[in-house]
């Protein structure tokens, strides 16, 4: 049996073995760990199953790993343990600090999984009528369609010559985030409980939308036609750039990732922002701060970000996204503060497993609920 202090070493050995980088001494050490207990073998085999299903997200070529091991060792029973995981290119979550599935007590017994809830996306048309957006639908007189990749595409590159453009609104409730692309190439990612009001076609002189909630913009450059995002008590004027807006509970916040923008408060005060700057309206005008933009590109990059959130707050967000109910066995666990950036998965278990390793808690299923201790 190996002590807790050995787990970082074993984590590194597992990763090296699967990448084909382990030498004979390292393979022998891994073999000793596998022979030490049935639990160790089960953990290793679970890794192989995860690899085969594409369950994680750092690239590992297991065909190459097998060829390398065959050259370096004659331990055939070790090879057999990973033979069924030899897909040409699979995806594996290997954390920088080590392979986290090997942490003592971190991986619960296999449970059923919880899928994402169905996306709630409602399109309100210029005449005030509305429709749910589900799956693919054909282009209509609005010039809007959802393509095979799931992106909503709006309008054409043709400018609207009428003085008053007709506006639609997309409202995203629970479920997966939604991506929308305008005819000019501007792409928008809408988070849960977000709304975007936009014209079917942009005017000749300006591209104007209204936003609420959490929305990431990648605006296509057009020096002759600025892009304006109106918030509840601020507006953002850009020509081509990337930024995140967060609007809610009387707060208007913009975080600039690329380019430059003009951020104007409702009282007329204005600032020019540069990458890495976040602007927020306040009672005294505009408050500026420097931020790490990696925390604000989650919508674009496909991650869930929990920034200094209590586990209870995280649980409510997960309930909103997945078909689950989460409760706590004790109040101490609910108050634990966690910061994490996790790849978005279509099911909940991989996220719970990673959070459990970061937060040092365990969970189990009880009566269909998830109980965190």
Bridge partners for 302 per DSSP: none
> What are the pLDDT digits (tens) for 107-126?
444 446 899 888 888 888 88
pLDDT at residue 68 is higher than 50: no
Round to the nearest angstrom and report the end-to-end CA distance of the chain. Answer: 26
| List of domains in the chain | 4-102 (no CATH), 121-296 (2.60.120.1440), 302-372 (3.55.50.30)
> What are the pLDDT digits (tens) for 141-165?
355 666 777 777 765 444 445 556 7
> What are the pLDDT digits (tens) for 165-216?
788 899 998 888 888 888 888 999 999 899 999 987 888 889 999 999 999 9
Burial track 262-275 (b if 16+ CB lie within 10 A, e otherwise): bbbbeeeeebebee
pTM (two decimals): 0.65
pLDDT at residue 327 is higher than 90: yes
Per-residue pLDDT at 53:
42
Measured CA to CA, the distance from residue 224 to residue 269 in angstroms comes to 24
Per-residue pLDDT at 95:
32
Q: Which of 50-64, 73-87, 92-106 has the lowest mean pLDDT?
A: 92-106
Per-residue pLDDT at 73:
41
Per-residue pLDDT at 48:
54
Mean pLDDT computed over 275-285: 88
Which 3 state secondary structure label does DSSP give 68? Answer: helix
């Amino acid at each position: 049996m190996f002590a807790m202090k050995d787990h970082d070493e074993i984590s590194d050995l597992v990763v090296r073995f699967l990448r084909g980088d382990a030498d004979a001494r390292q393979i022998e050490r891994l073999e000793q760990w596998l022979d030490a207990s049935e639990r160790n073998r089960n953990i290793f085999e679970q890794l192989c199953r995860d690899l085969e299903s594409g369950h994680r997200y750092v690239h590992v070529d297991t065909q190459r790993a097998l060829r390398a091991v065959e050259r370096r060792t004659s331990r055939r029973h070790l090879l057999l343990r990973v033979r069924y995981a030899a897909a040409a290119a699979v995806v594996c979550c290997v954390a920088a600090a080590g392979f986290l599935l090997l942490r003592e007590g971190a991986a619960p017994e296999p449970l059923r999984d919880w899928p994402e809830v169905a996306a709630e996306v409602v399109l309100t048309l210029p005449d005030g009528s509305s429709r749910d957006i589900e799956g693919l639908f054909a282009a209509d007189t609005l010039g809007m369609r959802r393509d095979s990749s799931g992106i909503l595409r709006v309008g054409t590159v043709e400018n609207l010559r009428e003085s008053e453009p007709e506006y639609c609104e997309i409202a995203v409730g629970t479920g997966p985030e939604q991506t929308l692309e305008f005819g000019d190439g501007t792409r928008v990612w809408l988070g849960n409980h977000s709304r975007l009001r936009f014209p079917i076609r942009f005017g000749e002189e300006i591209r104007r939308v209204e936003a609420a909630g959490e929305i990431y913009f990648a605006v296509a450059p057009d020096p002759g036609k600025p892009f304006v995002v109106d918030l509840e008590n601020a507006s953002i004027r850009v020509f081509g750039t990337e930024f995140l807006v967060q609007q809610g509970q009387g707060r208007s916040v913009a975080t600039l990732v690329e380019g430059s923008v003009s951020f104007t408060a409702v009282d007329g005060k204005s600032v020019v922002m540069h990458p890495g700057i976040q602007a927020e309206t306040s009672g005294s005008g505009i408050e500026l701060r420097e931020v790490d933009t990696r925390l604000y590109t989650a919508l674009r990059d496909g991650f869930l970000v929990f920034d200094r959130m209590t586990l209870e707050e995280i649980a409510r967000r997960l309930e909103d996204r997945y078909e689950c109910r989460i409760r706590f066995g004790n109040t101490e666990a609910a108050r634990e503060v966690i910061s994490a950036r996790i790849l978005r998965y279509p099911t909940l278990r991989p996220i719970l497993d990673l959070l459990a390793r970061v937060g040092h808690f365990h969970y189990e299923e009880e009566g269909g609920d998830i109980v965190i201790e």
